[in-house]
Amino acid sequence: MTDHRHAEATAVAGVRKRLRFSAAIALVALLAAFMTALPGTSSDRAEAAAPGPRDTTAVLFSWTWNAIARECTDNLGPAGYGFVQTSPPQEHVQGSEWWTYYQPVSYKVESRLGTRAEFKAMVDTCHSAGVKVIADAVVNHMSGKSAGGTGWAGSTFQHYDYPGIYQSQDFHSCRRDIASYQNRWEVQECNLVNLSDLDTGSEYVRGRIAGYLNDLVGLGVDGFRIDAVKHISAADMQGIMSKVNDRARLYIVQEVIRANEPIQPEEYLSNGDIHEFAYARKLKEAFGSGTINWLISGAGIGPSWSGFLQNSNAAVFVDNHDTERNGETLSYRDGSSYDLAQIFTLAWNYGSPSIHSGYEFSNKEAGPALAGNGEVIDPVCGQNGWTCKHAQTSIENMVGFRTATYGSAISNKWDNGSNAIAFGRGDKGFVAINRGGGSIDRSWQTSLPAGSYCNVIVGTPTSSGCSAGGVVTVDSSGRFTASVGGNGALALHVGAKAGGSGGVDPGPGTGASMTVFYSTSKGWSGYNMHYRIGSGPWTAAPGVGMTAACTGWVSKTIDLGTASGITAAFNNGSGTWDNNNGADYVVTGQVVTVNNGAVGSTNPCGTPSSSTTTVYYATSWSSANIHYRVGDGAWTQPPGVGMMNACAGWKSKSIDLGSASSITAAFNDDSGTWDNHGGQDYTIGAGSVKVANGTVTAGNPCS
């Protein structure tokens, strides 16, 4: 649901949720002095930022619970999506329109998308596929039907009376539509297009809302997209969220649209991430006009631009269910322009992206295809107008690109001054995008290792090469020659190397192997590893059995072929999983150890040929890099190498010391903020070492 004013002055019973204000709105940077005076303002990043590298959300708008469960298994999990976002699951008003979900009448988990049991089964199935579930939460209001009625699950209601839940005193007293968005009180206490506005300042109301969210948490959801947050004061939102269970593990993203108004997104950062609508508007301006080079000029689109959230707070998108209807952003109707914007979003390093996937429509009020009883027909790609953008080859494969390049800085930028751009992600990936009508044929400079790659925009690796598009050969200097067609793209990454069809590959050759050691400290009766090699298919759950290696460890050796690493999770064969808190373990090297979330590279069952340091860094950053040198050797290229989630509050990285006794290191958040120990850098020795608040001590904080 948008949180902007309706284009019409009147509201009627059964009115659609809202038309987004379609006039252009100015983006303004907030003055620091002004922000400190606003309630609930926090300069801290969102505490529950989407974890990397699996930080991409598939928004399956209007999909049934049964269909989402199928999609998690068949597409989302194998593609590397970290999250799936559902439409609001609570009981809603009856009707065929798309906006019925956004007019609640009770907090029963029963809707035209499925039953409570089906919702629970969907959550469990998605978890088994390695995908977390975010529920769209409508908590600002109830229905907009002045005459009342009967909800989907049979609950009767009046405009300001919902038996057993809310009565008249539980709603704000304004009870008219918002007249001025320059008036904070009106925006947060008057009705939005006749939707009955809850008194979220009431402890009773807060408790009711939190009770609903806690019910969903109990069903296993991993977070919420919270609708219309601008219409709830920051203090009220904090009051609600303070009552939500298991808060530390939940990913929260909020709809707060930035405009030239008193209420600004920064007020809500203490609750979680914010959807950065300015990003989507800029993508429409660029890809809609065909001039895209300015998106990567200088630091490029992101936190350095006026009015943009910091990287760790931003949730970005090309379109959503509102903007695809009101024309504020690109949509599926824009064809290749839309697809190229999605490719750019997944390749660029700003924010946590979501991919909207809904259905085609000619009437913007129209809902999805319904059965005779009013239930949504289970979506099937290619039927009933479902766009299935999340599963489109060029978009789905770019999710793998994002995972492979996570934490790598932008590098090797190029543009033609107008409609074509290219850039790398360090030595992990490279993308070229051509918004022009003619093809571009040239040699491209990258930082990729030499080797044979597949263009994941069109294909994936096979045992003999690539499934489509041919093999792209990168030479020892990091250059390759290729043609990028009009309104097309090319993307290469280290997780999608061709299967042996020519070219030079300095990485693991055919037959190269990785041995994964997993600690038995959990005391499971059995240990399985569920994995995929590079960007290939996943093993069938629960994976393959691991065998005893030495006291305290089990192991499995995997033939990597031409891939450089694997993505893996572990389980006991009976439904208990260790999937790195939903991020999975993305690992490379000949030897990998996993022990209570900490990843190392020293064989625990034999005498290592060299010593290792495993560095644990205490931080609230959503992503962290370690920039280091071993002994007196060369420094890594800034910003360094990405650190993995180890356990709550800690990132880790294992580094082979060779014959050296220590490393010199500094840390950064991938957005320009550094911790270099007051300019002295850190000296870190062998073994497990903790770096916290400027102090270096021995030990593993996650054991």
Show which residues are catalytic: 227, 255
CA triple 693-698-703, angle to 5 deg: 95
> Radius of gyration (Cα) for the chain, nearest Å?
25
Residues paired with residue 616 on neighbouring β-strands, in sequence order = 652, 690
Sequence-distant (6+) residues with CB within 8 A of 524 are 572, 573, 576
* Residue type for position 387: T
Question: Tokens 């930080």 identify what position?
Answer: 55
User: Can you tell me the distance from the alpha carbon of 582 to that of 82, in angstroms, rounded to the nearest whole number?
Assistant: 7
Q: Where are the alpha helices (DSSP H) in 546-644?
A: none
DSSP H or E segment with residue 35: helix 32-37
- Report the distance separating Cα 387 and Cα 375, nearest Å: 19
In three-state form (DSSP H/G/I as H, E/B as E, the rest C), the secondary structure along 652-700 is EEEEEEECCCEEEEEEECCCCCEECCCCCCEEEECEEEEEECCEEEECC
H or E element in which residue 412 lies:
strand 410-415
- Answer whether 209's CB lies under 8 Å from 139's CB: yes
User: Helix, strand or coil for residue 315?
Assistant: strand
Query: DSSP string spanning 250-287?
Result: -EEEE-----SSS--GGGGTTT-EEE-HHHHHHHHHHH
Contacts with 343 (C-beta within 8 Å, 6 or more apart), sequence order: 394, 395, 398, 431, 433, 457, 489, 491
What DSSP element (H or E) covers 585? strand 585-588
Question: Among candidates 162, 171, 227, which has minimal Cα distance to 194?
Answer: 171
Which tokens go with 534?
């590079």
Q: Which residues are within 8 A (CB) of 315 and not within 5 positions of it... i.e. 6 or more apart?
A: 50, 253, 273, 274, 275, 276, 351, 352, 353, 354
Type and span of the H or E element at 413: strand 410-415
Task: Give the count of beta carbons closer than 10 Å to the beta carbon of residue 38.
Answer: 15
The strand ranges marked E within 155-291 are 156-157, 223-226, 251-254, 273-275
Query: What would the two tokens of residue 607 be?
Result: 């005498």
Query: Do 112 and 375 meet the contact criterion of CB atoms below 8 Å apart?
Result: yes
d(CA 481, CA 571): 44
- Listed in sequence order, the residues at least 6 apart from 268 whose beta carbon sits closer than 8 Å to its beta carbon are 40, 229, 234, 237, 254, 256, 274
DSSP per-residue string spanning 324-359: HHHSSS--GGGTHHHHHHHHHHHHS-SSEEEEEE-B
Tokens 């990597």 identify what position? 560
Of the candidates 345, 189, 350, the residue with the CA atom closest to the CA atom of residue 263 = 189
Output the six-digit token pair for 426: 């360090």
Judge contact between 399 and 354, C-beta under 8 A.
no
CA 702 to CA 615: how far, in whole Å? Answer: 12
Q: Which residue's entry shows tokens 């930082």? A: 447
231 vs 250: CA distance, rounded Å: 22
Helix, strand, or coil here: 56?
coil
